[in-house]
């Protein structure tokens, strides 16, 4: 993962929507195409997963498919449109009802949080994409429809329901970025987490001995341990807050 970023919706929006929803005009004559859009998008996702988003280019994807770069332009105009197709591909929701939680709104949002974290772990390049203005394809709308159906009983207004989803997503993005940065810095420096913190122990012990940081010095030994699931703790507290809001709304407070 690098500090560079791409932006969703940076290509031809109309053409991208045609490709996502398969509404573009198709040639009625001519030889059968050697490639398919589906194969091209899948190859691009595999390149991004293996080598990062910077590695994705029409030339690289064509090479993975054993063809020339120019042949790809018969299917997709360029990288901007290809990126939006990739985003929709990886965000396809699970068809397994069990992956959507236990049927109530809280378990649905809980499942959404965990599934989204898993998505970023499988495709870390997603964190390089500015998705503030997403192109809405079938996968995005399918996923939104399923979640909204399950959380509608919360009794919140429509903007509040959308806000609940945004809240979960924002939390997960932050957690995923922290986890991936930790993995990246270990790879780049060659230092494990344990080695990194061990190198600071002498300086930290001297600092604690000064009496300047009494609260820090009194923390238990496991305060910064790796056994505590910070992601799960934070997710549950967000859901607790929403639980209070839902309860108050139902009692008319």
Instruction: Say what the pLDDT of residue 1 is.
Output: 45
User: Over the stretch 74-121, which tens digit does the pLDDT of each residue have?
Assistant: 999 999 999 999 999 999 998 888 888 888 999 999 999 999 999 999
Task: Give the chain's end-to-end CA distance (angstroms, integer).
Answer: 47
Percent of the chain whose pLDDT exceeds 70: 94
Is pLDDT above 90 for 34? no
pTM strictly above 0.85? yes
Contact by Cβ (8 Å): 121, 4: no
The residue with tokens 């509040």 is: 160
- The pLDDT, as a whole number, for residue 30 is 52
7-41 residues labelled b (16+ CB within 10 A) or e (exposed) = ebbbbeeebbbebbeeeeeeeeeeeeeebebeebb
Q: Output the CA torsion 121→123→129→94 (10° steps).
A: -90
Alpha-carbon distance 171 to 12, whole Å? 31
């Amino acid at each position: 993962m690098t500090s560079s970023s791409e932006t969703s919706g940076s290509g031809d929006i109309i053409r991208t929507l045609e490709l996502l929803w398969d509404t573009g005009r198709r040639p009625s004559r001519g030889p059968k195409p050697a490639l398919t859009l589906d194969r091209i998008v899948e190859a691009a996702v595999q390149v991004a997963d293996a080598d990062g988003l910077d590695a994705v280019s029409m030339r690289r994807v064509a090479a993975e498919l054993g063809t020339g770069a120019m042949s790809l332009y018969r299917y997709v105009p360029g990288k901007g449109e290809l990126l939006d197709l990739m985003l929709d591909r990886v965000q396809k929701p699970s068809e397994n009802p069990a992956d959507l939680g236990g049927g109530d709104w809280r378990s649905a949002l809980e499942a959404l949080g965990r599934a989204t974290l898993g998505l970023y772990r499988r495709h870390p390049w997603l964190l390089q994409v500015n998705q503030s203005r997403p192109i809405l394809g079938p996968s995005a709308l399918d996923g939104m429809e399923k979640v909204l159906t399950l959380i509608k009983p919360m009794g919140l207004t429509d903007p509040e329901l959308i806000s609940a989803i945004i809240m979960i997503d924002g939390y997960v993005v932050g957690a995923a970025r922290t986890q991936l940065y930790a993995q990246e810095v270990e790879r780049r420096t060659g230092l494990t987490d344990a080695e990194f913190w061990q190198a600071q122990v002498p300086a930290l012990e001297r600092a604690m001995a000064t009496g300047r940081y009494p609260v820090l010095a009194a923390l238990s030994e496991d305060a910064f341990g790796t056994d505590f699931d910070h992601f799960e703790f934070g997710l549950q507290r967000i859901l607790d807050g929403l639980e209070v809001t839902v309860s108050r709304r139902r009692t008319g407070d």
